[in-house]
């Protein structure tokens, strides 16, 4: 039966060509994101019998929980992937037992969840999804299991779930193996000849167990690879494809090795105030500068083949540094290599990190003996440091050593840039200043640090393995040739175009208040909807020629409703929870929320789940990320989504952050390049826009709506803002989502400094800024201060927000010009959407009929 519906869903669940094509993109992305951490030659394996154990064996986690979940048609687990690749899994009994244990645990979780629900504050409803169900550790592996498995080869998949609203808890073993798992792995190590341990977590995990248990032959960081993860894993395991991924974070030997480890989030009992005392020394910047040995360094990963990397040339022209390197596959299998270029800036003047990533390149798949010239390019100004005294980005005079290599700890000095004098590249205004600076950890080599050495590691730089005993080419750079930008901080102009001006002209102030307030998943009049979309722009102005558009979540794909039942009036109701936490709601609520597929016709939207942000970044492959972006863009087109609420791009400041899996890396350059690539891909489809989030310093999930990130301006600018800047500059991202938290005492959605001075004045951003969901209101940032600050759209809005804005305009507390500016930005996205074209066509046809 055909019914009149106001969306682009299909009445059939047949697999579309797009779905098939995108599944392949997801598979290829997964293949490039799996990091081989250890291998004594055991891998690759020839298909045969395999003993498979562990939480992620058949319940492989494809992505974290929360708003970034994706409802795909189906997920390939490790078990299924292995079987499809020709392996015979011989531990069905253990795996079935695990499934029972899982379901039992889930029932207990459900009961506990419903108990918690009773005391849940209504205004904190967005955090209902915090503390996802944790997978049980698994029943003991017995001698009987081993004997019955009839093989000498074992794969043990450790899995951990995490998600928004909560950080990973050390005491609950969310970051490390439990005793049960240790015993199981030890049992497998002792009784199987070959043991491969697989880590199926969203982010860095404690690898201490490798020192405790002997007999582990290989370790694979599977990460969380989306719907085709199991298939990609199996193809790596059997050597169909050689691993080509590298770590995007430093894996510490022990959690305490991270700077200020025990002060993070809940660990010091204070989730209200977070002090970024490590300053710019995040990730490898800390480990390299403070001479700490990591377990796995940043940019590290093994392959089944070997490569040689030889610097060929280095030059500076037009203020860009260009280094070329010859990469040759010197091993016996085909494979891809990732070449990385780090720079050590002069240690005169400001103290600096030992080195920073400046550029990287991934080769194509090189056959045995084949070579490729890798080209690594970056602007000299990327090497500037932010000097707080005069709020300027500065290149200090001296030697800049270019280090080329295949991980942050395996480089060779390739050339030296010699800057004759100090060059100021940007003059800024101060932003987000605190009355008192955050007391940062002592700089290496300082007296204070000598005394503090036991806590923070010995002063001095790490031995990163590079050889400097070569005669290096010295390239002279003149400071006077480097451009200096002096920012100015006027009120930005309102966006203006003939169409938006015409639509805005007749609107009253009340209408403008409607326009800057969005709507949620339910309620309101609507021209169009995508079932399951996280929100919409207003539907209140339909009669004034302004249709609503849809905003759907990410970043691992589009979060939409897979199957929906159509009600008599043409509305749709999902028949399955579109976010896993809904599974645990009391039946009475759940049934009321869901549609009944037996009574009503159904419509379908199958989205593709891609590898999570971290997993994608591990590919270090920007072309691949563009492809993923384009694949998402095609689905946006197919389902009528205008803004994708992705990519997520906060810095991995601490491995325990519950949302790290959604984000790319500890390094701002890699983060920015990845976000830019995916943005270009999505936005290559007309009328499809990305929303980079969560701007900025959203590095803690516990108490995320209230926590205050205390950070000095240099770290803010060099680490936490830099990735966003790259995403906007190189990816042209059309929208930014401000975060929940405060920075130095001000909610970011109320921060004129961040949303206007940095975003618009300094970076020239002219797109849309929206709040995170329910991030403004009572006890949070105020709706009207958000508009004043340059936060254009309040999401998901509500009548209260509209009322407050109207009141503030009447009382003169909210300037109409600010409201107009925000309205124009919201409207711009609407008129550039495909939905607007459809709306115009429909209206024109209607007029013709009349
Ligand atoms: C998350 C955002 C998400 C929004 C809409 C919030 O809870 O922080 O990342 O886009 O919900 O679902």
- CATH of residue 341: 2.60.40.10
Give the whole-angstrom CA distance, residue 702 versus residue 268.
Answer: 12
Q: What is the pLDDT of residues 523-570, one digit of tens each?
A: 678 899 999 999 999 999 999 999 999 999 999 999 999 999 988 877
Is residue 215 included in any domain, yes or no?
yes
- Please choose, from the candidates 553, 677, 681, the residue with its C-alpha nearest in 3D space to the C-alpha of residue 617: 677
Tell me which of 243, 276, 311 is where a domain ends.
243
Does ligand 1 come within 6 angstroms of the Cβ of 581? Answer: no
pLDDT score recorded for residue 122:
67
Shared domain for 598 and 686, answered yes or no, is no
Ligand 1, atom 4: nearest CA belongs to which residue? 773
Give a yes or no: residue 797 inside a domain.
Answer: yes
Q: What is the pLDDT of residue 229?
A: 98
How far is the centre of ligand 1, averaged over its atoms, from the C-alpha of 534 (Å)? 8
789 and 685, same domain (yes or no): yes
Q: Please choose, from the candidates 553, 509, 537, the residue with its C-alpha nearest in 3D space to the C-alpha of residue 836.
A: 537
Question: Are 714 and 779 found together in one domain?
Answer: yes
Q: Say if CB 248 and CB 666 are below 8 A apart.
A: yes
What gap in Å lies between CA 581 and CA 65, rounded to an integer?
A: 8
**Which whole-number Å values give the CA distances from 375 to 46, 321, 355, 406, in the listed order?**
36, 10, 20, 14
Atom of ligand 1 nearest to the CA of 739: 8
Cβ(659) – ligand 1 distance below 6 Å: no
State whether the beta carbon of 839 lies less than 6 angstroms from ligand 1. no
In a domain, 4, yes or no: no
Any atom of ligand 1 within 6 Å of the Cβ of 553: yes
Spacing, Cα 542 to ligand 1 middle (Å): 26
For residues 300 and 195, membership in a common domain is answered with no
**Rounded to whole angstroms, what are the CA distances from 254 to 167, 618, 713?**
18, 22, 29
Final residue of a domain: which of 243, 273, 308? 243
Q: How far is the CA of 694 from the centre of ligand 1 (A)?
A: 9
3-state secondary structure of 127: helix
Q: Tell me whether residue 158 is in a domain.
A: yes
Instruction: Indicate whether residue 204 lines ligand 1 (CB < 6 A).
Output: no
Helix axis angle, 17-31 to 622-639, nearest 10°: 160
Q: Into how many domains does the chain fold?
A: 4
pLDDT beneath 50: ranges in the chain = 1-2, 452-459, 467, 469
Closest Cα to residue 585, out of 166, 59, 125, 160? 125
- Residue at token pair 């005079």: 397
Q: Residue 633: which domain range?
A: 508-557+606-836
Three-state secondary structure call for residue 379 = strand
Burial of 415 (0-12, 13-18, 19+ CB in 10 A): buried
Same-domain status, 573 and 611: no
The residue nearest atom 9 of ligand 1, judged by CA position, is 67
Question: What H or E segment, with its residue span, contains residue 635?
Answer: helix 622-639
Shared-domain flag, residues 230 and 353: no
Shared-domain flag, residues 290 and 141:
no
Distance from residue 552's CA to the centre of ligand 1 (Å): 10
User: What pLDDT shows up at residue 461?
Assistant: 67
Beta bridge partners of 445: none
Determine the distance separating the centroid of ligand 1 and the alpha carbon of 272, expressed in angstroms.
Answer: 20
Pocket test for ligand 1, best of 63, 64, 66, 554 (most atoms within 8 A of CB): 66
Give the H or E element holding residue 816: helix 816-831
Question: Probe ligand 1: pick from 536, 612, 645, 647, max atoms within 8 Å of CB?
Answer: 645
- Contact indicator for 317, 332 with CB cutoff of 8 Å: no
Say what the pTM is. Answer: 0.96
- For the domain that residue 722 is a member of, what is the CATH number? 3.20.20.300
Quick check: is 677 in a domain? yes
Eight-class DSSP state of 811? T
Instruction: Pick left, alpha or beta for residue 608 (phi over 0 → left; psi -120 to 50 → alpha; otherwise beta).
Output: beta
Task: Provide the token pair at 349.
Answer: 């003047």
Element (H, E) at 199: strand 194-200
- Based on the fold, state whether residues 125 and 237 are members of the same structural domain: yes
Is 22 part of a structural domain of the chain?
no
Q: Is residue 460 part of a domain?
A: yes
Residue 437 φ/ψ, nearest 5 degrees:
-65, 150
The neighbour count for residue 27, using CB atoms within 10 Å, is 20
Query: Which atom number of ligand 1 is nearest to the Cα of residue 66?
Result: 7
On whether both 448 and 553 belong to a single domain, the answer is: no
Q: Is 775 in the pocket of ligand 1 (CB under 6 A)?
A: no
Using only the alpha carbons of the chain, give its radius of gyration: 27
| Local structure of 207: helix, strand or coil | coil
Residue 548 CA from chain centroid, whole number: 27
Neighbours of 101 (CB within 10 A): 16
Question: Is 804 contained in some domain?
Answer: yes
Residues in contact with 598: Cβ distance below 8 Å, sequence separation at least 6, in sequence order:
none
- DSSP character for 65? B
CA gap 377, 397 in Å, rounded:
21
Whether the CB of 772 sits within 6 Å of ligand 1: yes
For 320-341, the pLDDT digits (tens) are 999 999 999 999 999 999 999 9
Domain holding 221: CATH number? 3.40.50.1700
Q: Is the CB of 646 under 6 A from ligand 1?
A: no
Distance, CA 799 to ligand 1 centroid (Å)? Answer: 20
| Any atom of ligand 1 within 6 Å of the Cβ of 609 | no
For ligand 1, whether the C-beta of 126 sits within 6 Å is yes
Cβ of 645 less than 6 Å from ligand 1 = yes
CB 519 within 8 A of CB 539: yes
Where would I find the H helices in 56-203?
A: 78-84, 92-118, 143-149, 179-191
Q: Is the CB of 534 under 6 A from ligand 1?
A: yes
The whole-angstrom separation of Cα 691 and Cα 709 is 22
Q: How many residues does the chain have?
A: 850
Query: What six digits make up the tokens of 231?
Result: 């298939």
Same domain, 592 and 653: no
CA of 269 to the centre of ligand 1 (A): 26
Residues 587 and 627 placed together within one structural domain of the fold: no
Local structure of 840: helix, strand or coil: helix
For residues 234 and 57, is the Cβ–Cβ distance under 8 A?
no
36 lines ligand 1 (CB under 6 A): no
Q: Say whether both 599 and 610 belong to one domain.
A: no
Q: Which of 69, 553, 641 to mutate to test the pocket of ligand 1 (most atoms within 8 A of CB)?
A: 553
């Amino acid at each position: 039966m055909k019914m009149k519906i106001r969306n682009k869903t299909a009445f059939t669940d047949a697999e579309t060509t797009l779905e098939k094509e995108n599944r392949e993109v997801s598979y290829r992305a997964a293949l490039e994101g799996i990091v081989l951490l250890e291998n004594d030659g055991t891998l690759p394996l020839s298909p045969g019998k395999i003993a498979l154990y562990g939480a992620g064996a058949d319940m492989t986690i494809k992505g974290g929980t929360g708003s970034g979940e994706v409802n795909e048609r189906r997920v390939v687990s490790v078990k299924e992937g292995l079987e499809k690749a020709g392996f015979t899994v011989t531990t069905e009994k253990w795996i079935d037992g695990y499934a029972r244990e899982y379901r039992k645990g889930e029932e207990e979780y459900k009961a506990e969840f419903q108990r918690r629900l009773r005391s849940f504050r209504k205004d904190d409803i967005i955090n209902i999804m915090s503390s996802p169900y944790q997978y049980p550790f698994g029943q003991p592996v017995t001698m009987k299991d081993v004997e019955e498995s009839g093989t000498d080869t074992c794969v043990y998949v450790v899995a951990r779930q995490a998600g928004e609203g909560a950080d990973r808890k050390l005491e609950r073993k969310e970051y490390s193996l439990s005793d049960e798992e240790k015993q199981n792995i030890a049992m497998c190590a002792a009784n199987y000849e070959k043991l491969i341990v697989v880590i199926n977590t969203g982010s860095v995990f404690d690898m201490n167990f490798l020192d405790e248990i002997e007999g582990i032959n290989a370790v694979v960081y599977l990460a969380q690879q989306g719907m085709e993860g199991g298939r990609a894993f199996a193809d790596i395991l059997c050597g169909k494809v050689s691993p080509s991924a590298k770590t995007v974070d430093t894996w510490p030997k022990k959690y305490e090795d991270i700077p200020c480890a025990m002060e993070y989030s809940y660990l010091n009992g204070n989730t209200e105030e977070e002090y970024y005392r490590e300053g710019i020394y995040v990730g490898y910047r800390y480990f390299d500068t403070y001479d700490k040995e990591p377990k796995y360094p940043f940019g590290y990963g093994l392959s089944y083949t070997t490569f040689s990397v030889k610097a060929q040339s280095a030059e500076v022209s037009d203020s860009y540094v260009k280094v070329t390197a010859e990469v040759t596959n010197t091993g016996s299998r085909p494979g891809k290599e990732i070449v990385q270029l780090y720079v050590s800036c002069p240690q005169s003047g400001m103290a600096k990190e030992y080195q920073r990533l400046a550029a990287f390149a991934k080769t194509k798949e090189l056959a045995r003996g084949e070579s490729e010239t890798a080209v690594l390019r970056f602007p000299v100004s990327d090497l500037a440091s932010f000097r707080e005294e005069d709020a300027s980005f500065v290149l200090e005079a001296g030697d800049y050593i270019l280090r080329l290599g295949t991980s942050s700890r395996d480089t060779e000095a390739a050339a030296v840039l010699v800057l004759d004098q100090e060059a100021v590249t940007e003059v800024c205004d101060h932003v987000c200043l605190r009355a008192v600076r955050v007391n940062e950890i002592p700089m290496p080599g300082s007296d204070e640090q000598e005394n503090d050495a036991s806590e923070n590691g010995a002063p001095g730089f790490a031995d990163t393995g590079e050889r400097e005993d070569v005669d290096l080419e010295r390239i002279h750079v003149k400071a006077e040739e480097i451009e200096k930008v002096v920012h100015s901080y006027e009120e930005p102009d309102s966006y203006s175009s003939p169409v938006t001006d015409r639509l805005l002209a007749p609107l009253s102030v009340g209408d403008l208040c409607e326009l800057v307030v969005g709507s949620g998943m339910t309620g309101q009049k609507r021209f169009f909807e995508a079932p399951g979309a996280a929100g919409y722009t207003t539907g209140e102005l339909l009669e004034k020629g302004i249709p609503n558009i849809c905003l759907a979540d990410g970043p691992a794909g589009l979060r939409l409703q897979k199957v929906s039942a159509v009600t008599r009036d043409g509305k749709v109701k999902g028949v399955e929870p579109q976010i896993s936490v809904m599974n645990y709601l009391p039946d009475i609520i759940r049934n009321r929320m869901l549609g009944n597929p037996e009574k009503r016709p159904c419509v379908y939207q199958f989205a593709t789940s891609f590898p999570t942000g971290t997993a994608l970044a591990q590919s270090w492959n920007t072309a691949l990320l563009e492809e993923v972006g384009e694949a998402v863009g095609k689905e946006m087109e197919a389902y009528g989504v205008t803004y994708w609420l992705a990519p997520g791009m906060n810095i991995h400041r601490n491995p325990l952050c519950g949302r790290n899996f959604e984000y790319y890396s500890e390094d701002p350059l890699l983060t920015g390049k990845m976000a830019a690539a995916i943005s270009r891909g999505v936005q290559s489809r007309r009328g499809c826009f990305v929303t980079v989030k969560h701007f900025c310093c959203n590095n803690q999930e516990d108490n995320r709506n209230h926590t205050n990130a205390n950070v000095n301006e240099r770290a803010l600018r060099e680490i936490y803002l830099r990735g966003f800047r790259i995403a906007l500059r190189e990816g042209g991202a059309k929208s930014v989502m401000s975060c929940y938290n405060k920075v130095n005492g001000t909610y970011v959605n109320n921060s004129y400094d961040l949303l206007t001075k940095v975003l618009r004045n300094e970076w020239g951003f002219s797109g849309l800024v929206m709040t995170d969901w329910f991030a403004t209101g009572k006890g949070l940032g105020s709706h009207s201060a958000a508009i004043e600050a340059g936060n254009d759209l309040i999401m998901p809005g509500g009548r209260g927000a509209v009322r407050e804005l109207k009141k503030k305009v009447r009382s003169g507390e909210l300037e109409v010009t600010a409201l107009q500016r925000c309205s124009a930005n919201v409207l711009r996205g609407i008129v550039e959407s495909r939905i607007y074209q459809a709306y115009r066509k429909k209206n024109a046809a209607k007029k013709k009929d009349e």
